[in-house]
Structure 1
């Protein structure tokens, strides 16, 4: 029997759309590893991440390290759930390079959730205190300005999750 092709799971959605919840579920599959950007950033740069500009700089640094690691995991036959936001064409191009270099399959999970639902979830998440970052409404607005839904022309295998 042929072993299954390793899969790179990507997630696209605004803050508090449910990306981390979904990635946790996907990572429960056998031979599957979860890599969470928020987890790594919070532990590597606990005192340096104070603004959107810091996030852009530090997440780029993290991608430089994680990219080859993701490719190696996929080549080793493991599936990877990449809990990094695939929220811009540039980030999705980086992710495409990973599964193409590894010769792996992919699915882009798109959580299509309206802003107001995300804001409600964000406020509840902040109140519960269980997430690495507690974004404010202003930070939600600043980051959401950069959000670009996946376009069919990008050529991804997209699984869309409508408003939850």
Structure 2
């Protein structure tokens, strides 16, 4: 639990696959005694759907809603939470910012702006190792995802922290 007297923070992750979101989220969880909710882990454990399944989107939304319900309870108890799912678009970031603001909690958005070459190398390594709780993603998919990513901008009103490691 966060022991200072300020309100607990909602930490948000923003980056393409293999950018380091989950690794960093776990580090924050340890450092700040926060609870990390990694959508990929929940989806693979609860539904065993991958991002390629047609049903994935509807179940991901349901899963996020349930996670948010639990996160609000933790926040009310003073526990910081980490929402580890990709907030690639300004519209999605606004939706989550508005929800967090409406609940009255501060937020931080961690952005992982790595080059496509770095992401491709990390993807090859991850697909070779196949760590649990992660989706296997092809390089073609990564290339398809890359232009969909909208880097966060200051006018979005989020506290943005760039992570370059």
TM-score with structure 2 length normalisation?
A: 0.88
Instruction: Please name the residue that 1:136 is paired with.
Output: 138
2:152 to 145, 150, 163: 150
What CA distance in whole angstroms lies between the structure 1 residues aligned with 2:54 and 2:151?
22
Q: What RMSD over aligned residues (CA atoms) do the two structures have, in Å?
A: 2.0
After TM superposition, the structure 1 stretch with the greater mean CA deviation from structure 2, 20-29 or 49-58, is: 49-58
Structure 1 residues 111 and 2 mapped into 2: Cα distance closer, same or farther (>3 Å)? closer
Structure 1 residues 4 and 68 mapped into 2: Cα distance closer, same or farther (>3 Å)? same
- Counterpart contact for 2:15–2:21, Cα < 8 Å: yes
Instruction: Please name the residue that 1:37 is paired with.
Output: 39
- Counterpart contact for 1:75–1:103, Cα < 8 Å: no
Instruction: Please name the residue that 1:94 is paired with.
Output: 95
Structure 1 counterpart SS, 2:148: coil
1:1-164 matched pairs, under 5 angstroms = 3-46=5-48, 48-49=49-50, 51=52, 53-131=54-132, 132-162=134-164, 164=165
The alignment covers a number of residue pairs equal to 162
Q: Which runs of 5+ in 2 are unaligned?
A: none
- Counterpart contact for 2:51–2:135, Cα < 8 Å: no
TM-score with structure 1 length normalisation?
A: 0.88
